[in-house]
Structure 1
């Protein structure tokens, strides 16, 4: 069925297309009687205006776009909800573009479909961001410390998180560690690893090789990686697994338990983020709480500030992470 157009509305009301457009847009040049006739025609025809086209013609969409390769997992639930609430409170709409196709993602970013963008995607390169800023599109990047014209970034202090978690486990008597990391190109994973190594070096434990496993920030991938490691190393020395996030910690715990070992009796496990499920998991997760909701709120606030003509604030470190001690870690039993 053909979509009703403004031309159909104008013909039914017996007016010019420009008059129908003015009436539907609330322009005062149209008399009340004519406006009523046009609105009645639009209602009878079930006419829906092309709001996107209208907004693009005006040069303003009142929309902020979130561009990401994934919204899976508890971290993204918190982040997306925080962004959505902040955008709505500001009177803007939110579009979420979920694409692993790089070219499609870039086409959407460069297509003038939003007034500002929030990006959390490993497929977007520095060169891509340069193209975006050439469009004068206010952009906030998560997880990458970059600053340029029309560009700011909101990041966690993941180095401090890795450092604090490791120091805590060392105080519990642990000396042999494994890190169940995320994606190789992920800044948070790499910074957490750097913090772990700094704590080990400071305590004189860096001579012992740190076991590195690839958990990809996923429960199943972490389960597989830890299971493979424990199977291949029945005489393992590792007594503490530091997982890259809470999902990885859950997969690690399942793998340890599947091998007939207990958490934390035989092996301690910690995570990152302190997502809502971490307090209710069994055993409850020791983790490093990141202010995910604050990250989303700051991203929207910064995007809106740039949309209003403000200069980019640059890279912002979120330094208020906090170690949360729960049941998945304990003192080492010699």
Structure 2
């Protein structure tokens, strides 16, 4: 079976019996082509079902009209909201969005450096210090979400995870809780480290010790948090907490389900609070107290800052967004 050959501008020129340059001018709206010739070229293009090489034109113009979003995962309610916000805002700004999900750093960097997009939005720490230096050297326009970076061509949009965690922990302390466990995320990532620091500082300011046994690995995942909380109680700890601060909402859901399966009640036996304020919490019982993260605003701010970087209107800046404490049934006063 022979392969289908793509119709080229050369084929259109041959069909219309004109030069390739004349076809190019006619199809790009250059006025020097006579109307009768232009009409003949358009008819030839339609007859051959000619499709212009848009990518080639874009690369020649040094603009693609696309921005890229790079991450290792888009699973979970947080990412569905974030990607939707980025896609809608980029469309408002006249850009298409290319979403690349990969844990292969080489694939990601080749895509970024290959001129396929005008600028990038990224979430993961997969792009390390050496890669950042390459982005700076190549003057790649980039905005990172929840990773605090500010250079000439790179900006960031961060959620104030430190203050959010401090506020969440202080709320439990004010309700009389002193033995508070923390479901950690991933060490070395901005959100995870900031939330753990906020939790620790809130306890330190009350001169309460940090119980290492109360640092439970939840990895920002429902299943991991469920299993970690169950394992904690099955290990028969000498001391148990009266409250939990979960690294994010899905971790809180996992923790609550584990506690329910262990025949505990929320908040009668344990109080729990978390972060992000995802829509899923509206359908979960009991209602979980959370610090609402303005996820859609994060996406919109990232897109608009990237557009300004692409158009040379600004240098990279860091934007910090604050959260709101939403009190629900999952916490109680001791």
Q: Same fold (TM over 0.5)?
A: yes
- C-alpha separation in 2, matches of 1:208 and 1:185: 20
Tell me the equivalent position of 1:283: 286
- C-alpha separation in 2, matches of 1:28 and 1:68: 45
1:191 equivalent in alignment to 2:194: yes
Tell me the equivalent position of 1:200: 203
1:158 equivalent in alignment to 2:161: yes
**Equivalent of residue 232 in structure 1, options 232, 235, 244:** 235
Tell me the equivalent position of 2:325: 323
18-27 or 254-263: bigger deviation: 18-27
Gaps in structure 1 of 5+ consecutive residues: none
Q: CA offset at residue 237 of structure 1?
A: 1.5
Tell me the equivalent position of 1:149: 152
- C-alpha separation in 1, matches of 2:57 and 2:181: 55
- C-alpha separation in 2, matches of 1:80 and 1:236: 42
- C-alpha separation in 2, matches of 1:206 and 1:93: 50
Tell me the equivalent position of 2:81: 78
1:263 equivalent in alignment to 2:266: yes
The structure 1 segments of at least 4 consecutive aligned residues displaced by more than 3 Å after TM superposition are 207-210
Q: CA offset at residue 260 of structure 1?
A: 1.3
Q: Is the 8 A contact 1:179 1:210 kept in 2?
A: no
CA RMSD between the two structures: 1.6
Gaps in structure 2 of 5+ consecutive residues: none
Work out the number of aligned pairs and report it: 331
Secondary structure of the structure 2 residue equivalent to 1:261: coil
**Equivalent of residue 121 in structure 1, options 117, 121, 124:** 124
Q: CA offset at residue 208 of structure 1?
A: 4.5
Are residues 326 and 17 of structure 1, via their aligned partners in 2, closer, same or farther at CA, if it must alter by over 3 Å?
same
Q: Is the 8 A contact 1:156 1:317 kept in 2?
A: yes
Secondary structure of the structure 1 residue equivalent to 2:187: coil
- C-alpha separation in 2, matches of 1:208 and 1:189: 18
TM-score by length of 2: 0.94
Tell me the equivalent position of 2:223: 220
Secondary structure of the structure 2 residue equivalent to 1:21: helix
Q: Is the 8 A contact 2:146 2:159 kept in 1?
A: yes
TM-score by length of 1: 0.94
- C-alpha separation in 1, matches of 2:259 and 2:32: 74
- C-alpha separation in 1, matches of 2:64 and 2:292: 35
Tell me the equivalent position of 1:12: 15
Tell me the equivalent position of 1:55: 58
Tell me the equivalent position of 1:137: 140
